[in-house]
């Protein structure tokens, strides 16, 4: 199970766009790239998933380059409620390996 | 729609005691998982069940056993609890168990072993 690498923490201000980058150095051909969000005392919650290029949903965008060795989660116009831990995963057959995540702190 | 339900939410054990964490999902998902999360760290996969009747080890299976009782329920048992097993345990399920399977998590079970 491949483990990803991402920054330990990031700070931002309300209304800014936040980009969190993840390294997928050991990603396998069949793996998808998935991002989760976790608030204190709760289980992680699915944000977005992709295999290649760009994916966008109502919450975020996910950018994956052609070599798939990295991914970038983009959160537009963050608010205080976006303060959480964000995990990027290589997902294969549901056997997702969580790294230590990026703690995003949004300040007023 | 309850999603994934875990019981108990909190438990304190003494070293050497045994206990079972229960998990049930009502989304008709094929795959179920048990993770543990230590303070300040990410989740580590203990065991998973890709479908009813099958179970497989994850990253950290030692000291645990699991039972996939039926499609809805997946239990995690600690036969002889140790302080190193103090953690928050999360159960999750996914629809297909394939590469695109979104994980749905329960609220967690907080276990302290003294």
- DSSP for B31-55, please give it: EEEEEEE-TTS-EEEEEEESSTT--
pLDDT of residue A94: 57
| Alpha-carbon distance values, A97 to B9, B10, B60, B87, B90 (Å) | 24, 25, 11, 17, 14
- Nearest Cα neighbor of A22 from A1, A7, A44, A39 is A7
Give percent of chain B with pLDDT exceeding 70.
95
Residues of A in contact with B108 (CB under 8 A): 41-43
Check CB contact under 8 Å for B99 and A32: yes
Mean pLDDT of A96-102: 84
Mean pLDDT of chain A: 91
What's the confidence (pLDDT) of residue B95? Answer: 85
Is-contact B35 B90, C-beta < 8 A?
yes
Q: Is the pLDDT of residue B113 over 70?
A: yes
- pLDDT-based confidence at A65, cuts 50/70/90? very high
Q: Are strands A53-56 and A45-50 parallel, antiparallel or unpaired?
A: unpaired
Gap from A104 CA to chain B (nearest CA, Å): 13
Judge: A32–B58 Cβ closer than 8 Å, yes or no.
Answer: no
Distance in Å, alpha carbon of A76 to nearest chain B alpha carbon: 22
Which residues, other chains included, contact B39 with Cβ-Cβ below 8 Å and sequence gap of 6+? Answer: none
Per-residue pLDDT, B2: 77
Q: Is B103 on the interface with A (CB under 8 A)?
A: yes
């Amino acid at each position: 199970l491949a483990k990803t690498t991402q920054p330990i923490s990031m700070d931002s201000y309300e209304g800014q766009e936040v980009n969190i980058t993840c390294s997928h150095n050991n990603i396998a051909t069949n793996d998808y790239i998935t991002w989760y969000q976790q608030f204190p005392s709760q289980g992680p919650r699915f944000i977005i998933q992709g295999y290649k290029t760009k994916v966008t949903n109502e919450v975020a965008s996910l950018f994956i380059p052609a070599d798939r060795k990295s991914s970038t989660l983009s959160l537009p116009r963050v608010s205080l409620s976006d303060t959480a831990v964000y995990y990027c995963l290589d997902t294969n057959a549901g056997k997702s390996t969580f790294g230590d995540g990026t703690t995003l702190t949004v300040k007023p | 729609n309850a999603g994934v339900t875990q019981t108990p939410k909190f438990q304190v054990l003494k070293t050497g005691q045994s206990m079972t964490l229960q998990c049930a999902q009502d989304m008709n998902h094929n795959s179920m998982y048990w993770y543990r999360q230590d303070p300040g760290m990410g989740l580590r996969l203990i065991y998973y069940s890709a479908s009813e009747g099958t179970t497989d080890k994850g990253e950290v299976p030692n000291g645990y056993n699991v039972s996939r009782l039926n499609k809805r329920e997946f239990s995690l048992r600690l036969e002889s609890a140790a302080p190193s097993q103090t953690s928050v345990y999360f159960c999750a399920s996914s629809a297909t168990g394939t590469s695109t399977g979104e994980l749905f998590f329960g609220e967690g079970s907080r276990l302290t072993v003294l």
